[in-house]
Amino acid sequence: ERFDIQLKGSGRTPYSRNGDGRAVLGPMLREYIVSEAMHALKIPTTRSLSVVSTGEDVYREKIEQGAILTRVASSHIRFGTFEYASYMLGPDKLKALADYTIKRHFPFIENSENKYIDFINEVMRRQIKLVAKWQSVGFIHGVLNTDNMSICGETIDYGPCAFMDVYDPDTVFSSIDTYGRYSYKNQSFIINWNLCRLAEALLPLIDNDENKAIEIMQNNLDKFTELFTSEIISNMSSKIGIFSPTEDDISLLNELLSMMKKYKQDFTNTFIALTFGDFPKNEMFSSDEFVNWHKKWQARIISHGKSKDEIFNLMKNSNPAVIPRNHRVEEALSAAEKGDFSVMNNLLKALSNPYEHSEFQKEYAKIPTSSQCVYKTYCGT
């Protein structure tokens, strides 16, 4: 297989936006931890080959230890790469970039009669599958601009990302996301918006008549909502043991999620409780609402004729025992910055097989205390 390698924090480049191009140890280790967790969760992602300390002082809000991350990806071609080519380099360079990308990453459409239309459709399909997987484990990217979306459908750039503890669709972690643009619930809208920007950049390749090119692209992008809805329902239904979701299952899922929000339930641990039938003694699980929902749910999963083992295995393999919880990641980074990497290594061990549901992982499944829930992430590296 072929991979691209990128150094993050090695110094200024033409894209440094007047910054120093340096990175600090904590955020680089953070990307290492979270990207490895995503890989273990079977979610397409860039990975971190290494983090190396540089011995330099890097000046941020305070003086911090310098570090360089070596990031590995199927490709570092982004949506923004096409915008740059379209707006700055002209149609010939845009075509060269598109042809290169198709040949390298989508060779099965290279000889297609409408390969650029097929290209946008394939990119859309991959992004939909990716973000639906994010949603199903409570992952919030935090800064979904067009430069942070890989054309291959891999998760890229782990700056202000985090995993949701208490279920709330409005959850935001990024310090700069004042209005919730990149909140958990808005991620599908944002990738749709970004796909529109990619489609705009590709218009010169679709048809010489711009209006006709816009119409063709619009007809294709209009499929987004239906495709995303189908994908997210499929993923979320698996979490409650439903193999072939129907329209009625949407109401069942929404009812559960509404209860989780109302009673401030932990996203990951609620689905673990449903998987193993081991319900904590708290307000939601003791409520008449849950008892009534549970009866409907049990009737539904029995109705499709699958065995208890089949249902259990579907849920067990759809609901991770552990995620890189924010307080655990910060704990590991704090120790690492003092030279103790044992905390991080133990965390990585717990995250390495999230569907194992081992005794060792139970410690890492514990929810944060109230004082650990006040959490912000930052873009600056």
Q: Which tens digits make up the pLDDT trace of 179-216?
A: 889 999 999 999 999 999 999 999 999 999 999 999 99
In a domain, 333, yes or no: no
Q: Is residue 15 pLDDT above 80, yes or no? A: no
How much is the pLDDT for 381? Answer: 44
In a domain, 169, yes or no: yes
How much is the pLDDT for 177? Answer: 80
Residue 140 contacts residue 163 (beta carbons within 8 Å): yes
Instruction: For residues 362-370, give the mean pLDDT.
Output: 88
| Higher-confidence position of 61 and 342 | 342
Same-domain pairing of 181 and 217? yes
Share of the chain above pLDDT 90, in %: 87
In a domain, 348, yes or no: no
Same-domain pairing of 211 and 263? yes
Same-domain pairing of 210 and 269? yes
In a domain, 329, yes or no: no
pLDDT, tens only, 39-93:
999 999 999 999 999 999 999 889 999 999 999 999 999 999 999 999 999 999 9
- Active site includes 147? yes
Among 29, 56, 73, where does a domain finish?
A: 73
How much is the pLDDT for 377? Answer: 62
Q: Is residue 118 pLDDT above 60, yes or no? A: yes
Same-domain pairing of 269 and 304? yes
Instruction: For residues 94-100, give the mean pLDDT.
Output: 98
In a domain, 202, yes or no: yes
Among 319, 338, 368, where does a domain finish?
A: 319
Q: Is residue 375 pLDDT above 70, yes or no? A: no
- pTM equals 0.94
357: left (phi over 0), alpha (psi -120 to 50) or beta: left
Q: Give the domain extent around 17.
A: 4-73
How much is the pLDDT for 61? Answer: 85
Instruction: For residues 336-347, give the mean pLDDT.
Output: 96
Same-domain pairing of 214 and 146? yes
Same-domain pairing of 142 and 280? yes
pLDDT, tens only, 244-301:
998 889 999 999 999 999 999 999 999 999 999 999 999 999 999 999 999 999 999 9
How much is the pLDDT for 378? Answer: 56
In a domain, 349, yes or no: no
Same-domain pairing of 45 and 101? no
Same-domain pairing of 95 and 152? yes
Q: Is residue 371 pLDDT above 90, yes or no? A: no
In a domain, 272, yes or no: yes
Same-domain pairing of 109 and 65? no
Share of the chain above pLDDT 70, in %: 96
Mean of pLDDT over the chain? 93
Among 265, 292, 319, where does a domain finish?
A: 319
Catalytic site residue from 147, 168, 170, 209: 147
C-alpha span between 239 and 230 (Å, rounded): 15
Same-domain pairing of 61 and 81? no
The total number of structural domains in the chain stands at 2
Instruction: For residues 328-357, give the mean pLDDT.
Output: 96
pLDDT class of 122 with cuts at 50, 70, 90 = very high
Same-domain pairing of 158 and 14? no
pLDDT, tens only, 224-234:
999 999 999 99
Q: Is residue 243 pLDDT above 80, yes or no? A: yes
pLDDT class of 316 with cuts at 50, 70, 90 = very high
In DSSP terms, which residues pair with 57 in a beta bridge? 65
Residue 122 contacts residue 98 (beta carbons within 8 Å): no
In a domain, 226, yes or no: yes
pLDDT class of 328 with cuts at 50, 70, 90 = very high
Same-domain pairing of 59 and 187? no
